[in-house]
Amino acid sequence: MGYDPSVCIQKLNAAGLTPACEALANPYHCDDLQQISPVIHQFCGQQQAYYAPVQALVCIYYNNNVPTQWLYWPADQLIVKCMQQVPQKGTGTTGWNVANCYCCCSCFAYNTMIAVPDGMVAIQEIKIGNEVRAAKLVNGKPQWDNKAVTFSSGMAGGDSPAMVYIHYGDNPTDLICNSDQVFVLSTGEMVRAGKLTIDDKLMGEDGAAVPIHMVALGNYKGGIHHISTGNEWKGSADGHLLLAAGVVAGDFTLQMHFDSLGANLKVKNASLRHEIGSADYAKQHSKLRSGKALLAFSSNGHEPAAHQLAVQNGRFQFYRLAGPDYTTMGVSMFTPEQANDILENGQQLALSNPVPKSEIANIFMILKGFYPEFNYYLDWYAMEPNVHAFEEYGQKFVVVTGGLARMVGLSYEGLMMAVAHGVSRFIGLPPKTPSGYVGTGAADYFGFGVISRAIWYGNSWINSVMPAFTQIQALMGLISPANAGGVPGYPVEYPSISCRLSAIQSGMGGGPLPECCGGPPVPMIGVQSATAEPGGVAITFTYAPIEQEAINVANYATTPSVSITKATVDPEKNFIVHLEAAFKAGTDYKVTVSNLHNIFGGGVDPKADSATFTAI
């Protein structure tokens, strides 16, 4: 398949990366960016995934922080020209500012045979200007003609994740493509490869039904290529249908405009179909799944012979739904019950969306620079949302599941702190579990309190750690009350979710680890002394009280009773509070305090809540 702007926009919006360049009022042509820019081409090559996000620059006018206008210039002039626009936004809310929007990196596998006027040619051999056989549908049957190729592009090798493998035909044939590739069914309806099932029948050269024996999702190592028979779109698939490996499939132009086709041209149950690789697809077709751990769905007699197949000019490896049981190997961010709640109550991006994988790769690279002694691993096809930390054969591992990386609402910042939780299990502060790992709440506390400050320097810290907190808070909010309460008697290993959120806030705020997750008792406020002074008394505390509570005269009482008229925190020593009252000179008084708290949350110690003094 080719680069499809509508698919790019969908994947970026689903991952929360906005604005998409091609969704702006004056769309930025991302396909031009990739074909012309060597740096973008190089970056996308490193990502090794179609639709991986890549930033582009644009000049945006903001009206009260809402973007309303967009301007473009050649790349070598854009920044300077944008800075010359008037007014400039700067740190305000209105004006012009250089900002980023998002494009996507952008297929049949090499050696897919495409029909040409005099036979068949491997897709990578087709050049611009060559003719291929192209069809239009007449009464639900293909009517073939010859058309010139206007676009031909691809890459000779590499690792392509989330590719669809289709095994079909009476003389079984293999075909590998991206999940967004369009196919024509024998009914004349069209559907993307990622939503095919073995109940579908593809359309052959003469319109005959071609049975599908297997549909699978996996990783393909080999070349991929895409072509188009015309860049102009006239609202119809006519002329944009090719004969690929014996079945009718769409070209690049049809890929770009598939979503704009009328519903009558697509499968009737399109809205009810799930994408292969999703939990819903697996549930919908569970009886057809080949083997417990394989993301392959087949009819009898066509089960995969091995976990890997040599196909076309590369190798296809089936993805697995099941993997190692990490819960028996070390410690985890969530219990199995909590992870299941998050999976059931939240939403996950499709396996074919590469944005979370790109985010995790960047996170691993950053944390590896700060904490190189750990092995970081993404188990992309593990469905349950979790982070696992364990030691094996003298090596320390931090494993992030794809189920967590793909959670809707958990973006870059939250993912960073989730991985930091795994790192903190090894290097965080006590207390530790009986097996020697840092406690659950203590790891939350250390990740937000220490690691966040290490990786996000200066002003970038608050701009990153606050979104991280809100994302983790929302994620934990998906856990049911039955599984959010923790395990009584095991505060280190299994604190409550509310306690963990308190630990995170305390780490961010510079407080101690809460007692509810194994921290020391919260230090309480004690009255050290009461010293008479003209017109009142000065109370010295063991810890400074929070000012808004300290100046509330209702929090002080005396025996004998005297009305306190004013309470003031000492401007130089905030652990001293000055009380003003009409005390009688030479009289002994007892002053008692209540309802005060220190910044750690500790209240007044009932054993040290009062002191005596003689008024002057």
Residues of the chain with pLDDT under 50: 1-2, 34-36, 38, 292-293, 312
Tell me the CA distances in angstroms from 292 to 115, 119, 197, 274, 310, one per residue in order: 38, 41, 18, 19, 22
What does the pLDDT read at residue 260?
86
Q: Same structural domain for residues 87 and 190?
A: no
What does the pLDDT read at residue 31?
55
* Residues paired with 378 in a beta bridge: 400
Q: How far is CA 605 from the centre of its chain?
A: 45
The burial class, CB within 10 Å (0-12 / 13-18 / 19+), for 193 is buried
Q: Count how many domains the chain has.
A: 4
Confirm whether 42 is domain-assigned. Answer: yes
Instruction: Give 306's contacts (C-beta < 8 A, 6+ positions apart).
Output: none
Q: Same structural domain for residues 82 and 121?
A: no
Residue 130 belongs to domain with CATH number: 2.170.16.10
Tokens in use for 457? Answer: 């320097």
Tell me if 200 sits within 8 A of 247, measured CB to CB. Answer: no
The domain of 38 spans 5-104
Q: Same structural domain for residues 508 and 531?
A: no
Q: Same structural domain for residues 187 and 336?
A: no
Confirm whether 496 is domain-assigned. Answer: yes
Residue 542 belongs to domain with CATH number: 2.60.40.1220
Confirm whether 283 is domain-assigned. Answer: yes
Confirm whether 311 is domain-assigned. Answer: no
Tell me if 604 sits within 8 A of 593, measured CB to CB. Answer: yes
Tell me if 522 sits within 8 A of 605, measured CB to CB. Answer: no
Last residue of a domain, one of 517, 545, 565: 517
Last residue of a domain, one of 517, 536, 556: 517
Residue at 410: amino acid letter: L
What does the pLDDT read at residue 607?
97
Q: Same structural domain for residues 573 and 508?
A: no
Tokens in use for 439? Answer: 């406690």
Confirm whether 49 is domain-assigned. Answer: yes
Q: Same structural domain for residues 368 and 470?
A: yes
Q: Same structural domain for residues 288 and 180?
A: yes
Tokens in use for 120? Answer: 């068949």
Tell me if 234 sits within 8 A of 159, measured CB to CB. Answer: no
Tokens in use for 224? Answer: 């991929």
Give the three-state DSSP class for 203: strand
Phi and psi, residue 75, nearest 5° = -55, -35
Residue at 463: amino acid letter: N
| pLDDT one-digit tens code per residue, 561-591 | 999 999 999 999 999 999 999 999 999 999 9
Q: Same structural domain for residues 344 and 429?
A: yes
Q: Same structural domain for residues 59 and 177?
A: no
What is the distance between the alpha carbons of residues 74 and 274, in angstroms, rounded to a whole number?
41
Q: Same structural domain for residues 216 and 283?
A: yes
Q: Same structural domain for residues 334 and 466?
A: yes
Instruction: Give 544's contacts (C-beta < 8 A, 6+ positions apart).
Output: 569, 574, 575, 598, 599
Q: Same structural domain for residues 499 and 365?
A: yes
